[in-house]
Amino acid sequence: MSPIDLRSDTVTRPGAAMRAAIAAAPVGDDQYGDDPSVNRLQARIAECLGKPAALWFATGTQANQVALRLLTRPGDDVIVAREAHSVWHEAGGSAANGGVHFTEIGERGVFSVEQMRGAIKPRNLDIFAPTSLVQIENTHNRMGGVIFPQSQVVDICAAARAHGLACYLDGARLWNVSAATGLPVAELAAPFDLVMVSMSKGLGAPAGSLLAGPRELIGPAVRHRRMLGGAMRQAGLLAAGAEYALDHHLARLVDDHASARMLGERLAASCKVVLDASSIQTNIVVFGLSAGAPPAGDLVMRARERGVLINALNPRTIRLVTHLDAPYEACERAATLLLEILED
C-alpha cells in the first residue's frame, strides 16, 4: 500500500483528467509572450485577484524573491510575522537576491498594527535600515495554516501606507483562506501592492505560482524573473494543469480543512501532544510533543516505517498537511497510527 503522505500539500500528483488537459494545451514560447495557455491563466488570475496583471512563475519562492526586488532596495528591512516562509524556507534567497533583512514580529503568524508600527525603523537616523515593506503570509505555513483576520490586514496595510511602506501578500495558500472564510480572493488581495498565489499547493497542480499587481510592477517583474533563470518556454503545459486545478479543485479545499480538523482533534486528545485543536483553521496541523513523547525525529522515522509520512519543524514540533491525495479515511488511519506510536 502506498504511504499516506502528509508532509505537504505539494506532494499531490496530477490525475488522468489533469494530464489530459496538459496534453491538449496549446503552447508557445512564453519568454516571447507567445504561450496562449500561460496568457490565459495570467489573465484569469489577474481578474480573480482584482489586479490589472499577473505573471507566471515556476515557484512561489521565485515569485517571492522577485516581489522583494520590486518593492525594496538592497539593505532595506522587511516586516514579517515570525517564522515566515521567506525567512525560513527560501534558502537565504531573500538576502542573496533581494539583499534585505527581516524584522519578525507578532505571535502565531499574525501581528497587530501597533506591533507593526513599533517595528518600523525611525527614518531620521542613518544608523537604521529603512523599513520599506510589510509582508503578510496568509495562511501562515509554519504556524499551522493560520488565517490572518481580514479586518486586521486592512488596518495594517492602511497604516503601512501612511508610513510609506509597500504591502506584499505571500498568498501561497490564499485559496484556503477564501474557502475557510467565504471571502473572495479579490477582497483578500485588495489591500496589497503585489500578491502571490500558488497553484501547486492545495489546488494540486504540478507547478506554478503567479504574482499579480499593477502593470508598472508586473512589467519589470518579467526581467527579474529572467534574472533568476525563471523564463520558461512552453510553460503552457504547466499552466494548463494549473487551470484544470482552478476549475476542479477549489471547491474541495474545505474537505482538506475537515480532515485537518479531525486529525487535530484526535491527536489533541493524547497527553503526548500539545495542541489546541480549535486553532486549526485550514489544512495544516502543527503540534508540539509533550515531555513524555519521543523526539520529533523519532516520531517521523517510526511513522514512516508504518506508512505515514510527516515532517518535523523542529525537535519538538510536527507538521501535517492535508490535501487532494490524502482523503479523509486515509487521514483517519494516519491519526490512529500516529496515536499508536505516541502511546507506545
Ligand X SMILES: Cc1ncc(COP(=O)(O)O)c(C=O)c1O
The CA-atom distances, in angstroms, between 193 and each of 52, 163, 166, 257, 263 are 11, 15, 7, 29, 36
Give the H or E element holding residue 103.
Answer: strand 101-105
- The answer to the question of residue 141 lying near ligand X (CB under 6 A) is yes
Residues 154, 186: contact at Cβ < 8 Å? no
**Candidate list 51, 69, 85, 249; residue touching ligand X; CB under 6 A:** 85
- The answer to the question of residue 198 lying near ligand X (CB under 6 A) is yes
Count of C-beta atoms within a 10 Å radius of residue 125: 7
In terms of Cβ atoms closer than 10 Å to its own Cβ (0-12, 13-18, 19+), residue 56 is buried
Contacts to ligand X from residues 149-168, by CB under 6 A: none
Q: Tell me the Ramachandran region of residue 192: left when phi exceeds 0, alpha when psi lies from -120 to 50, beta otherwise.
A: beta
What is the C-alpha separation between 185 and 49, in angstroms, rounded? Answer: 6
What is the C-alpha separation between 185 and 50, in angstroms, rounded? Answer: 8
C-beta closer to ligand X: residue 61 or 72: 61
What is the C-alpha separation between 265 and 278, in angstroms, rounded? Answer: 8
- The answer to the question of residue 193 lying near ligand X (CB under 6 A) is no
**Candidate list 12, 37, 42, 59; residue touching ligand X; CB under 6 A:** 59
Q: Tell me the Ramachandran region of residue 107: left when phi exceeds 0, alpha when psi lies from -120 to 50, beta otherwise.
A: beta
| Shortest Cβ 293–ligand X spacing (Å) | 26
- The answer to the question of residue 225 lying near ligand X (CB under 6 A) is no
| Shortest Cβ 271–ligand X spacing (Å) | 30
Please report which residue ranges of 24-59 form alpha helices under DSSP H: 36-49
- The answer to the question of residue 5 lying near ligand X (CB under 6 A) is no
**Candidate list 42, 45, 53, 60; residue touching ligand X; CB under 6 A:** 60
- The answer to the question of residue 213 lying near ligand X (CB under 6 A) is no
C-beta closer to ligand X: residue 270 or 282: 282
- The answer to the question of residue 172 lying near ligand X (CB under 6 A) is yes
**Candidate list 77, 137, 193, 256; residue touching ligand X; CB under 6 A:** 137
C-beta closer to ligand X: residue 81 or 217: 81
- The answer to the question of residue 253 lying near ligand X (CB under 6 A) is no
| Shortest Cβ 199–ligand X spacing (Å) | 9
Tell me the residue number closest to ligand X, measured at CB: 60
Q: Is residue 326 classed as helix, strand or coil in its secondary structure? A: coil
| Shortest Cβ 342–ligand X spacing (Å) | 26
- The answer to the question of residue 322 lying near ligand X (CB under 6 A) is no
- The answer to the question of residue 209 lying near ligand X (CB under 6 A) is yes
What is the C-alpha separation between 305 and 301, in angstroms, rounded? Answer: 6
- The answer to the question of residue 12 lying near ligand X (CB under 6 A) is no
Per-residue cell: 83: 517564522
- The answer to the question of residue 61 lying near ligand X (CB under 6 A) is yes
**Candidate list 77, 170, 243, 256; residue touching ligand X; CB under 6 A:** 170
| Shortest Cβ 198–ligand X spacing (Å) | 6
- The answer to the question of residue 282 lying near ligand X (CB under 6 A) is no
* Stretch of residues binding ligand X (CB under 6 A), selected from 57-65, 92-100, 272-280, 303-311: 57-65
- The answer to the question of residue 283 lying near ligand X (CB under 6 A) is no
C-beta closer to ligand X: residue 199 or 341: 199
Q: Is residue 85 classed as helix, strand or coil in its secondary structure? A: helix
Give the H or E element holding residue 301.
Answer: helix 296-305
What is the C-alpha separation between 171 and 120, in angstroms, rounded? Answer: 23
- Mapping DSSP onto H, E and C, the string for 192-241 reads CCEEEEECCCCCCCCCCEEEEECHHHHHHHHHHHHHCCCCCCCCHHHHHH
C-beta closer to ligand X: residue 201 or 272: 201
Q: Which residues bind ligand X (CB under 6 A)?
A: 59-61, 64, 85, 137, 141, 170, 172, 198, 200, 209
